[in-house]
């Protein structure tokens, strides 16, 4: 039985995970942490992270980038493995994640779904053929109106996959509104749409002369992220310090 502290427990993903864990005989949420206790959990909620001293095997985080520094310090102090799912971290925070992973197990992934993690591999093979043949690469992501960060962490991770497959020769363009020139060969354009209750859509477009190939992933519910995060928590508990990602969980 894996004992979990849920960071961001009162938010949308915190609630999805709480519901999934209720039905899971091999996992239990032993405490929650959030800025305010919204009264929507069945377990104790701490509004000051340092007051949460509950014994646990792992912490799952779906909160806010603003919380990342204090969270990483807390997990190091407590020697607590952390599944880091929050997106929109700054370059400095991403560097801190890498430093933290030298001390404790850290699994960071912008997208916990099996589909997106499979897509990340598929597009690398496509890029090696199509981008090498001169196809342009663009990413379009769509999310709900409540999302704070843009572009999505997943869009950036998809761009990183493409770039890695192409020996990191590409750069990212987020906004062409001030441009009065053609795109260059080595750019990956990333566009963000926000509206309504869209759970999450990601399109990777390879556009060549007279032909286009599109890869698309659609999330129809947040449960796909929740299930992945719980699997990741079970995987990470008891592991040595290091940097892990969803590929480690999926490949076993």
Ligand X SMILES: O=C(O)C1=N[C@H](C(=O)O)C[C@H](O)C1
Ligand Y SMILES: NC(=O)C1=CN([C@@H]2O[C@H](COP(=O)(O)OP(=O)(O)OC[C@H]3O[C@@H](n4cnc5c(N)ncnc54)[C@H](OP(=O)(O)O)[C@@H]3O)[C@@H](O)[C@H]2O)C=CC1
Q: Take residue 26 and report the two structure tokens written for it.
A: 């091999």
User: Of residues 120-179, which lie at the interface with ligand X (CB under 6 A)?
Assistant: 143, 147, 152-154
CB of 135 to ligand Y, least distance (A): 28
The pair phi, psi for residue 159, each rounded to 5°, is -60, -40
* Stretch of 11-19, 90-98, 158-166, 188-196 lying at the interface with ligand Y (CB under 6 A): 11-19
Annotated active-site residue 202? The verdict is no
Catalytic residue selected from 7, 108, 142, 143: 143
Q: Is 60 helix (H, G, I), strand (E, B) or coil?
A: strand
Sign of CA dihedral 99, 104, 109, 110: negative
Contact between 158 and ligand Y by CB under 6 A: the answer reads: no
Classify strands 200-208 and 136-143 as parallel, antiparallel or unpaired.
Answer: antiparallel
- The closest alpha carbon to 84, from 102, 99, 63, belongs to 63
Question: Which one of 87, 100, 161, 163 is in contact with ligand X (CB under 6 A)?
Answer: 87
Annotated active-site residue 143? The verdict is yes
* Binding-site string for ligand Y from residue 99 to residue 138, where x marks contact by CB under 6 A and - marks none: ----------xxxx--------------------------
Q: Which is nearer to ligand X, 73 or 160 (CB)?
A: 160
CB of 146 to ligand X, least distance (A): 8
DSSP codes, 186-252: TEEEEEEEE-TT--EEEEEEEEETTEEEEEEEEES-THHHHHHHHHHHHHHTTPPSEEE-HHHHHH-
- Residues annotated as catalytic are 143, 147
Question: Which residues form the interface with ligand Y (CB under 6 A)?
Answer: 7-8, 10-14, 33-36, 62-64, 66-67, 85-88, 109-112, 225
């Amino acid at each position: 039985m894996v004992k979990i502290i849920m960071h961001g427990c009162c938010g949308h993903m915190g609630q999805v995970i709480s519901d999934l864990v209720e039905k899971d005989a091999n996992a239990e949420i032993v405490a929650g942490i959030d800025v305010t206790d919204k009264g929507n959990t069945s377990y104790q909620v701490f509004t000051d992270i340092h007051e949460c001293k509950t014994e646990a095997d792992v912490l799952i985080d779906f909160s806010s980038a603003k919380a990342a520094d204090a969270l990483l310090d807390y997990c190091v102090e407590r020697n607590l493995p952390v599944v880091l799912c929050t997106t929109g971290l700054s370059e400095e925070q991403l560097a801190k994640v890498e430093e933290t992973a030298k001390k404790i197990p850290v699994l960071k992934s912008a997208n916990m779904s099996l589909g997106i993690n499979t897509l990340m591999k598929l597009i690398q093979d496509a890029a090696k053929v199509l981008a090498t043949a001169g196809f342009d690469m663009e990413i379009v992501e769509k999310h709900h109106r409540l999302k704070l960060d843009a572009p999505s962490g997943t869009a950036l991770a998809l761009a990183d996959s493409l770039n890695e497959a192409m020996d990191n020769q590409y750069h990212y363009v987020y906004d062409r509104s001030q441009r009065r020139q053609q795109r260059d060969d080595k750019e990956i354009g990333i566009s963000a749409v926000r509206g309504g209750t869209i759970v999450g859509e990601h399109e990777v477009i390879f556009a060549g002369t007279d032909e286009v190939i599109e890869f698309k992933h659609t999330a129809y519910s947040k449960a796909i992220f929740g299930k992945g995060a719980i699997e990741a928590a079970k995987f990470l508990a008891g592991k040595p310090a290091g940097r892990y990602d969803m590929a480690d969980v999926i490949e076993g």
